[in-house]
Amino acid sequence: MSIFSLITPDATPIATDSIAAVATQKTAELSVWDLCLEGGFIMIPLLILSVVCIYILIERAIVIRDASREDSTFMKRIKDYIHEGEIESAMNLCKKNNSPYSRLIAKGISRIGRPMNDVLVAIENTGNLEIATLGKGLPWLATTAAGAPMLGFLGTVMGMVDAFYNLASAGSSANIDVLAGGIYEALVTTVAGLIVGIIAMFAYNYLVARINKVMNMLEAKTMEFMDLLNEPAQ
C-alpha cells in the first residue's frame, strides 16, 4: 500500500467540506442591500414609490387625526348663540374651532334665513370639499398598489430575458449556475414590487376607513344642525 492511497480517501471529504463551507458563507453574506443592487434600475422607481407612499400615509394620518377631533360642547354653544340671535358669536366660534365640521356649521349659519333646502345643499357641498381635501394623495396610493407589482414583473421579465441570453451565449460551456444566478436576480424586482404594492394597498384602505369615520361625523353634525334650525327658540 502506497502513501498516496492513504492520503487520497481523506482528502476528498476535506475538500468537499471546504467547498460547502465557502458556499454557506457566501449565502449567509447575501444581504438585503445586495439583493436590491442585483435588481437593477427597476429598483429605483420602486424605491421612490415606497418613500412617497410612506410619506402620504404618515402625513394624511396626522391630518385625518386632527380632523376627527371633536369638541363635545361645540354644538351646545352654537345652539345657545343661534337661539339668542348672536349669529356673529356663532360664526366666531366656528372660525376659532377651525375643524371640518365647524366649517360646515359656519356655512350653514351663513345661509340662515334662506329655505332649508338651500342651507342643506350649501352644507353638503362644503362637506364634499372637506372630504376631497382629506383624501388628497389617495389616488397616488391606489395607483401604486396596482402599478408597483407590474413594475416588479417588468423587471423580472427583463432579467429572465437577460439570463436566457447569457445562457445561450455561453454555448457548450453553459451550466446551471449561469441560469440560476440570473433567475434569482430577476425575481428580486418581483418581491420588491409586491412589497411596495402591499404597503400601498394597506395604507390606502386604512386611510379610507379613517376618512369614512370623519364623513360619518360630518353627516351627524349636519343633521344635528338642521334639527337645531327647526327647533323653536326657547
Give yes or no for a contact between 133 and 145, defined as CB atoms under 8 angstroms apart.
no
For residue range 54-88, list pLDDT tens digits in order. 999 999 999 999 988 888 888 889 888 888 888 89
CA distance 154 to 107: 50
Q: Give the total residue count for the chain.
A: 234
pLDDT for 212 equals: 95
Helices and strands (DSSP H and E) totals, the chain: 9, 0
Global confidence as pTM? 0.76
For residue range 129-160, list pLDDT tens digits in order. 999 999 999 999 999 999 999 998 888 888 78
Give the angle subtended at the CA of 86 by the CAs of 83 and 91, to the nearest 5°. Answer: 110
Give yes or no for a contact between 134 and 217, defined as CB atoms under 8 angstroms apart.
no
